[in-house]
Amino acid sequence: MGSLKVVLLTESNSLAENAALPYKYYGHILREKILAITEELHYRCECVDVHKLDFQEHESVNKFLNADIVIMDVTNQDRRPTFMYQKGNRENKFTESFCQDQDSLEKAIDWYRRGFAADPNIYAGINLLFLLAVRTDDLKNSEAYRIIIQLNALLGKKGRSLRDLTDYWDVATYFELHAVQRDWSKACLAALHMYLLNPPIWYLKSTINNLKILHQATRMRNQQKPREQPSTSSDDEDVYSFWIDYFSDAINSNLTSNEEKELPAQVPILVCDNYEKNDGTTLKNVYVESHLQLNFHTGSEPETLVIRTLEKQKQKQTEESVRTIDMNSIRSIINVKRDNRSVFLYAYENAEAFLSVELQIFFSSAERRTAFNEKMSKYRLQTSISEVEPKFDVSDLDKLNQKFLIVGKQTSETMHRNLHKNTN
């Protein structure tokens, strides 16, 4: 066997000289044992402080991609056991073989199974469950079913409901757990929660890559089955597919190529608005999955901004599934300060002020918002808008700390817009 590269990843200060006892003691013992074992096996070992890593940098990422084994030091004052696992080389080999290298898959399952047995935490558990789901559609077998129960219990300790979870990786585990079980409705709720946490792009990339591996393996299995009557996807499954596209768009927009940074002809977006249900009640601040299309230079046809909403909930009554806005009617596009992925768009559908359009649009990433602004700026430079750009001020209007956006115009009209709390 050739020399293997081992990385000791510490998320504590247990290796620091000034660490307090017994914190320092257990960290020192751990380090000495690992170094002794790796030296005896003629492995190369490198100690890495996780707080000094920047996963946006290629050098940091390569430390792990090129490692054969990663050992995570989770030593703390409670003396939690160390969780050791095989770093995804086996997973990578399985993926690179187009989900056909079953030997690598079985070895990866074995490593994650050992890790979960040594330290049954949600991160080891969801990785093991994913690999089991890649291997088979039957999640009712004893091992997979037991892991699902354990994961639900572990997540329950972190919060009684999804909204109680504030750590991205906990929410992502909830998302992945229900995606594996094809519970699309709960998976979509978790996807929105993940998005609102505004995580770094590499967080999303890690989550979506797992789901793509599962999707590819499932598709391969389905191709090998006897041809059956084609099944139609449910509304919730369509929304789930939207979220995969949405997060993938965020990942693509973060790539270094100029082509990826430009705004595509059609992009997935979220529209935050109020909607009236069939029973007459109003749903406030609802995020609706949609697609945005900009139509420039279409000959004699007017240049338009088109928003197509996804057919989602039958009980929700949307006035328009397709909304077309003439470019000439757009009066202002305001960047939301608190969320660098969002804009507020204000337009007149005609000369009557009461027939106005107010939309809060959420792009998949800050890069997509920038690309949208750049494209709209190029267009607006070619137009002649005589009115002065509106001025926007944010002020407190009541003791409940609700914020209203006051939109000033040169005319005597003043319009008040109650924005969602994330736009403050």
Q: What is the pLDDT of residue 365?
A: 95
More confident residue, 11 or 172: 172
Q: Average pLDDT, stretch 48-67?
A: 49
**SS3 label, residue 121:** coil
Q: How confident is the model at residue 38 (pLDDT cuts 50, 70, 90)?
A: low
Strand partners, 323: 307
Tens digits of residue pLDDT in 205-264: 888 888 888 877 777 666 666 665 555 567 888 899 999 999 999 999 988 666 667 888
Q: What residue ranges define each of the domains in the chain, with the CATH number in brackets? A: 5-224 (no CATH), 258-386 (2.30.29.30)
Q: Average pLDDT, stretch 142-161?
A: 90
Strand ranges inside 363-413, DSSP E: 391-396, 403-408
Distance (Å, whole) CA 363 – CA 340: 9
- How many helices (H) and strands (E) would you count in the chain? 12, 15
Distance (Å, whole) CA 7 – CA 4: 10
Distance (Å, whole) CA 159 – CA 415: 40
| Residues in Cβ contact with 133 at an 8 Å cutoff, skipping those fewer than 6 apart | 139, 144, 180, 214
Q: What is the pLDDT of residue 413?
A: 34
More confident residue, 279 or 346: 346
Q: How far is CA 142 from CA 60, 115, 138, 145, 148, in A?
A: 38, 18, 10, 5, 10
Q: What is the pLDDT of residue 331?
A: 83
Distance (Å, whole) CA 127 – CA 86: 11
**SS3 label, residue 270:** strand
* Average confidence score pLDDT of the chain: 71
**SS3 label, residue 257:** coil
